[in-house]
Structure 1
Amino acid sequence: MKSLVLLSFVVCAFAIDVQFEDCGSKAGDVTINVEPCEANPCQLKHGSNYTVKITFTPGSSAESVAVKIYGVVAGVPVPFPFDQPDGCKNSGLTCPLDPGTAVVYKATLPILSEYPAIKLFVEWELLSGDDKLVCAKIPVAVVKSNDELDARYKEKIVKKMHWE
């Protein structure tokens, strides 16, 4: 029993429902969960993958769902390279979506080392034709991984000590 309680606490500590700005969702009851994420805004580390779960209730039937993701920097949306633009495939959604029935969309978001360390909004859109089922701007901070920070720290120490 103690193990179950501890395990539940550990799982809950690394996945949270994130705060977001709605940017025109037609679906209701939208919640977004990011794992691992410990606090708002989520800190997305270079070289890591993040699981994004979007729960929503469509207001009308949706035969298909297209996915678009943008990094919004200084108010300018920049398309995010994403290899699964069909929201009906490998995402937990079964199309067509029925109105009034809650569904969960799930995707993995890789944070590559070549991305700049920056604070920005990730705009995530789930579209059915011209309708935005879900449109959410999620505040995040892309940060260097611990390995990158350790390497930079070591480099500074080596230069200071004149080793190597």
Structure 2
Amino acid sequence: MRLPHAPTIGLLLLPLLTTGTETPYSDCGFTGSLVGLQLGSCREWPCVFERGVPIAGEVLFKAVSNYRTLKTTINALFGGIAIPLYVDEQMCTKLLIGQCPADIGESLSYLANLTVGHDLPTITVTLEWNIANGDGETVVCAQVPAQFH
């Protein structure tokens, strides 16, 4: 478990990441520089979410190379199966901070609003948030254990 902190978070005035109490996450392999992650009001594992209630998720990261485009996906991993909960193939057009093309060292922030439908069983899963560049390389990958009720 890793709790990321960066001195610039408070200065950026991000809607979710300004509290200084981010969601803990596991690194699932990436080339970028993940600064902070927030899923709803989750501060400890497992995160507990209600099906049918919107979940705001924000990710803050720094570019370690130049990005022309970015795609984000949030999957629920259960028993070796990835269930897509959220996909945005045009995330560059919706960045809160930064823009594409992004230069090395640029801070980027993105807000995802997802709702888990009632068709997902009340199970414990691992949420995996993945951001890939235009070449399909993983820029950010973070996993968070979660329960849906």
TM-score, length-scaled by structure 1: 0.70
More helix by share: 1
**Equivalent pairs: percent with the same residue?**
22
d(CA) in 2 for partners of 1:15, 1:142: 25
Task: Give structure 1 stretches of 5+ with no counterpart.
Answer: 1-10, 144-164
**CA distance in 1: counterparts of 2:41 and 2:116, whole angstroms:** 12
Asked whether the equivalents of residues 24 and 43 of structure 2 are also in contact (C-alpha less than 8 Å), the reply is no
What secondary structure does 1:89 align onto? helix
Structure 1 residue ranges, 4+ long, deviating more than 4 angstroms after superposition = none
Is the Cα–Cα contact under 8 Å of residues 71 and 121 in structure 1 kept in the other structure? yes
**1:104-160 CA-partner distances (Å, limit 9, x unpaired):** 1111011212211111111111100221110111111111xxxxxxxxxxxxxxxxx
In structure 2, C-alpha distance between the alignment counterparts of 1:15 and 1:71, rounded to whole Å: 26
Structure 2 unaligned residues grouped into runs of 5+: 1-15
Match of 2:46 among 41, 49, 52: 41
Aligned to 1:135: 141
1:16 & 1:116 partners in 2: Cα distance?
A: 29
Q: Map of 1:75-90 to 2, 5 A cutoff?
A: 75-80=80-85, 82=86, 84-90=88-94
Larger radius of gyration: 1
* 1:1-164 map, 5 Å: 16-37=21-42, 39-80=44-85, 82=86, 84-92=88-96, 93-128=98-133, 129-143=135-149
User: As a proportion of its length, which structure holds more strand?
Assistant: 2
Q: How many residues in Structure 1 have an aligned counterpart in Structure 2?
A: 131
- 1:89 is displaced (CA, Å) by 2.4
- Residue 16 of structure 1: CA displacement? 4.2
Cα pair 2:24 2:44 within 8 Å, conserved: no
* 1:27-71 deviation per Cα after TM superposition (whole angstroms, max 9, x unaligned): 114321122335332111012111111111110010000112221
